Amino acid sequence: MYETFFSLIRAGLWGTPPDTSLFSGMTPARWQQLYRLASTQSLLSVFFDGINTLPPNLYPPCNLYLQLAAQTLQIEQANDRLNRMVGRLNSLYAASGLHPVLLKGQGMAFYYRNPRHRQCGDIDIYLGEEGQTVANSVLLESGAVPSSEESDKHASYKWDGVHIENHRLVSRMGNPLANHRFMRLVREWYPDGAEHIIDMPTPPPTFNALYIFLHAFEHFLGGGIGLRQLCDWSCFFYRRAADIDILRLRRDLHRLGLYSAACAFGYVAVNYLGLKPEYFPFDTSSSRHLGEELVKEIFATGNFGKYDSRNSPRPKGYWRGKWHTFSIALRRTSRLYHYAPQEALFYPVALIKNVIITQSKLLKKRFKP
């Protein structure tokens, strides 16, 4: 089943038809299994694109095909809505003298064969510490409303049905020394080194290659990721490999303690997602063990760990929910420490620290005269 699934994902990503012999004798039940995989990995439209490279006589049952077509249309409409909002936010923030930079999300969709077929979520914008405060006020004045709890990294809002996160930090690593080095990397390019290729500036390519991986890896450690995150990275390398300073990227990954983990992710990108080896800058031949383990984890957890049957449901209540999240992260980091030992060691500690910082800020706001 997994071989058939990956053949469709590769076809959807790159437009190369799969081996049709894999689809002889397919049953409706088997197609439903493949559909569920695509759903839990947040790859429905890419999966649908792959199906459309098959001869029509090998298509799934009509009801499933039409269901995928309808969901793909919804994903296209969601992308259009987010893309319009990106341009709107860029104009709004720039008019206030800010320097917004779009992180991941719609910035990654740009690199897909069909940008409207990346399954989208929210809009993440980096503004720096001072810029975030101004941007929060500007959004509220424009009619946005706070959405979910504020974290140490970002504040969340809903505006015209779109979830927006204003970041004061691009990301935060658990290892204090690595985090210090990462913050320095951000300061080296922000704001004047950002790229202007879509409706809002994005990070420069070498940093973006690092950041897209780091974001996926932090989620992998804490709760799990889906294949969508690796598809993002694969499509980015395919389109921007020539613009990435490979020696710089290798050096930064080593200094952050993430090189082995990055090679494992690259192993999956090359051997499962079909990224041609010449577009991935590092040798993944020695990463087979970690890469195969990564694939098993991805299918066990689904997108952002939402489908991991090994975990009990998140309990109600703020502190019980936080303890649940911490417990999952503690188990995962103890099991997956060999990907990046130092980051795995500090990750649970960073979770506790971030909760304390967030709660301290909320208390200060509550008792501010």
The domain of 249 spans 204-369
* Mean pLDDT of the 210-232 span: 94
Instruction: Decide if 300 is inside a domain.
Output: yes
* Run of H or E including 185: helix 176-189
Instruction: Decide if 331 is inside a domain.
Output: yes
Instruction: Decide if 320 is inside a domain.
Output: yes
Instruction: Decide if 309 is inside a domain.
Output: yes
Closest CA to 275 of 309, 219, 235: 235
The total of other beta-carbon atoms located within 10 Å of residue 347's CB is 22
What are 307-323's pLDDT values in tens digits?
Answer: 766 766 777 776 677 77
Total structural domains within the chain = 1
Instruction: Decide if 6 is inside a domain.
Output: no
The total of other beta-carbon atoms located within 10 Å of residue 174's CB is 24
Does residue 315 have a cis peptide bond before it, meaning omega lies within 30 degrees of 0? no
The total of other beta-carbon atoms located within 10 Å of residue 69's CB is 13
pLDDT at 354 over 90: no
The total of other beta-carbon atoms located within 10 Å of residue 180's CB is 10
* Run of H or E including 159: strand 154-159
Instruction: Decide if 96 is inside a domain.
Output: no
Q: Interhelix angle for 318-335 vs 341-366, to 10°?
A: 170
Instruction: Decide if 221 is inside a domain.
Output: yes
The total of other beta-carbon atoms located within 10 Å of residue 313's CB is 6
Tokens of 139: 């959004």
Closest CA to 202 of 236, 174, 173: 236
pLDDT band at 327 (very low <50, low <70, confident <90, very high): confident
Instruction: Decide if 254 is inside a domain.
Output: yes
Tokens of 175: 């290892």
Tokens of 292: 């195969």
Output the pTM of the full model. Answer: 0.92
Burial class (CB in 10 A: 0-12, 13-18, 19+), 184: exposed
What are 83-129's pLDDT values in tens digits?
Answer: 999 999 999 999 999 999 999 999 999 999 999 999 998 999 999 99
Backbone angles phi and psi of 166, in degrees to 5: -90, 115
